Amino acid sequence: MLQAVLTDFQLWGRAYLVTTLDHRLIGLPLAAHRVVSLSHKEHSHTLADLAAQVDAALIIAPESDGILTRLSSLVEETGTQLLGTSSMGVAIAGDKWDCFLRFRQDGLPTPNTRQTSCAGAAAVAEELGFPLVVKPVDGVGCEGVSLASDFSSLNLALDLMSSMHKDVLLQQYLPGTHASVSLLASASGVVPLSLNEQIMNIGIPFQYEGGVIPLEHHQRRLAMAYARRAVSLVPGLRGYVGVDLVLTENQCYVIEINPRLTTSYVGLRQVININLAEAIWRACTENMLPKNFILSGKASFRKEDFSVIQYA
């Protein structure tokens, strides 16, 4: 993902690119003018210094444990333009329980969900009924997410996350097509770019394996409309944003919002006729969203090795 967005900025040709890279990966070829080695112990100080030296910063990080919120706040404190969601927006979107309440209040279809402690999960599960999706309140991708079909599998799912999370979410499992919508958000609006298939291995735990862009599905228009509504419910969402959904024969259910660059970027850039990095820049710095764009062909991508296959 880092290589993809750096390459797009390089192709745009309007920016001097500085990127950080884990010191254990130094030597990895990247399309940047300057690569700064970063170690865990000094990353906050190094990032703050760099952010103060540049015009804008794009953060690639997970919401888990508040990481993306903290890094976004760090950039905001320097006064540098964020090419992405504000720290407040990340904190709201990264809280899956908060988002569920917002979806329900707005009338968006979303699976029945309860927040509970690990100790209280069995009682909540009995009330909701199996099968259930067990997930952390915050997280990225399928991290900590499992399918529980009975009390035995519920205990297995909780064992995977009890050491990391005090509270968990139990969510009604809806069989259907796992999908996402990629969007661009500015201060004045939101533009859906594509409907994407998510390739999942459902179990204990879930495994996100990649995707296909675009997804042809009879619920496409509804998915785009619901994703746009979901993004409008969270203040401060900017730049590239993803909304996860489950599509069934008769309905489209909103699951969660990803307030960041997602893996779908590596596939979408292969089939869309605009430079996504430039579009992110303009959405965040100039409040401009693309009006005329088309998707041609399809691209499939795998998360494990970040390989992308493009076909007509």
Q: Is the pLDDT of residue 306 over 60?
A: no
What domains are defined for the chain? Answer: 2-85 (3.40.50), 112-172 (3.30.1490.20), 175-311 (3.30.470.20)
Q: What is the pLDDT of residue 91?
A: 96
**Phi and psi at residue 91, to the nearest 5°:** -60, -40
DSSP class of residue 193 equals E
Residue reference for tokens 């009924």: 129
Q: State pLDDT tens for residues 215-230.
A: 999 999 999 999 999 9
Residue 307 banded pLDDT, cuts 50, 70, 90: low
Measured CA to CA, the distance from residue 281 to residue 287 in angstroms comes to: 9
Rounded CA separation 88/234 (Å):
9
Instruction: State both tokens at 285.
Output: 């710095």
Could you read off the pLDDT of 282-302 as tens digits, one per residue? 999 999 999 999 999 999 988
Q: What percent of the chain has pLDDT over 70?
A: 96
| pLDDT tens, residue by residue, 234-263 | 999 999 999 999 999 999 999 999 999 999
Q: What are the structure tokens assigned to 250, written together?
A: 């008769």
Average pLDDT, the chain: 93
Stretch 123-149: mean pLDDT: 90
62-86 average pLDDT score? 95
Asked whether residue 59 carries a pLDDT value surpassing 90, the answer given is yes
**Residue 267 near residue 212 (C-beta atoms within 8 A):** yes
* 3-state secondary structure (DSSP) of residue 211: strand
